[in-house]
C-alpha cells in the first residue's frame, strides 16, 4: 500500500494541509443535522484548483474518517492520476461506458495516510471518451 503525501508542490511557511483540515471542518458544520457522504468540487474555469482542493481534502478526510473514495470526474483533462502517480488506463469512464467491466479492487488505488490509520481509495477518470457529458449525465453515475 502506498503512502499519502501532500501533493500541492508548494513551499509555504505554514502547514498547508491545515487549510484543508479547516475546510473539512467547515463542511462538517455546514450540515449539523445530516451526515455528509458526498462532496463535489467543481468550477467553471481550468486552473482554479479543483484537483488540488479535492486531493488534499480527500487526504485530510481519510485521516479523520478512516476511509475516503476520491473519484476523478474530469473526463476532459483528468489530473488526479498524475497527482498520485497511478495509471489512468481504467477508471470511471470505463465503468460508465459499460466496457463489460466487473468493478473490482483493481480499479481503485489504495493509499495509507502516513500519520493516521486512514485509507484513501482513488478512482481515476479512465480513458478519454468523445462524449464525457453524456457519461456524466447517465443514470449509471
Residue-wise pLDDT for 55-102, tens only, equals 999 998 888 888 899 999 999 899 999 999 999 998 999 888 876 666
> Residue 129 has which C-alpha cell?
471518451
> Is the per-residue pLDDT at 29 higher than 70?
yes
The residues spanned by each domain of the chain are 10-136
Cα end-to-end distance, the chain, whole Å = 28
Query: What is the per-residue pLDDT across 92-119, written as a single tens digit (0 to 9) for each?
Result: 998 888 766 667 666 788 888 777 778 8
Average per-residue pLDDT for the chain: 84
Dihedral through CA 139, CA 124, CA 6, CA 4, nearest 10?
Answer: 100
Region 15-38: mean pLDDT is: 87
- In CATH, the architecture of 10-136 is 3-Layer(aba) Sandwich (3.40)
How sure is the predictor about 28, in pLDDT bands with cuts at 50, 70 and 90? confident
44: cell is: 467553471
C-alpha 3/C-alpha 31 separation (Å) is: 31
Amino acid at each position: 500500500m502506498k503512502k499519502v503525501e501532500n501533493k500541492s508542490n508548494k513551499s509555504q511557511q505554514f502547514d498547508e494541509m491545515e487549510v484543508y483540515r479547516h475546510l473539512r471542518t467547515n463542511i462538517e458544520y455546514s450540515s449539523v443535522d445530516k451526515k455528509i457522504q458526498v462532496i463535489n468540487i467543481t468550477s467553471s474555469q481550468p486552473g482554479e484548483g479543483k484537483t488540488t482542493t479535492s486531493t488534499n481534502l480527500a487526504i485530510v478526510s481519510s485521516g479523520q474518517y478512516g476511509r475516503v473514495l476520491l473519484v476523478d470526474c474530469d473526463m476532459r483533462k483528468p489530473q488526479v492520476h498524475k497527482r498520485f502517480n497511478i495509471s489512468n488506463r481504467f477508471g470511471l469512464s470505463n465503468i460508465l461506458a459499460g466496457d463489460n467491466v466487473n468493478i473490482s479492487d483493481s480499479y481503485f488505488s489504495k493509499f495509507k495516510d502516513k500519520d493516521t490509520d486512514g485509507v484513501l481509495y482513488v478512482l481515476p477518470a479512465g480513458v478519454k471518451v468523445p462524449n464525457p457529458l453524456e457519461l456524466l449525465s447517465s443514470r449509471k453515475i
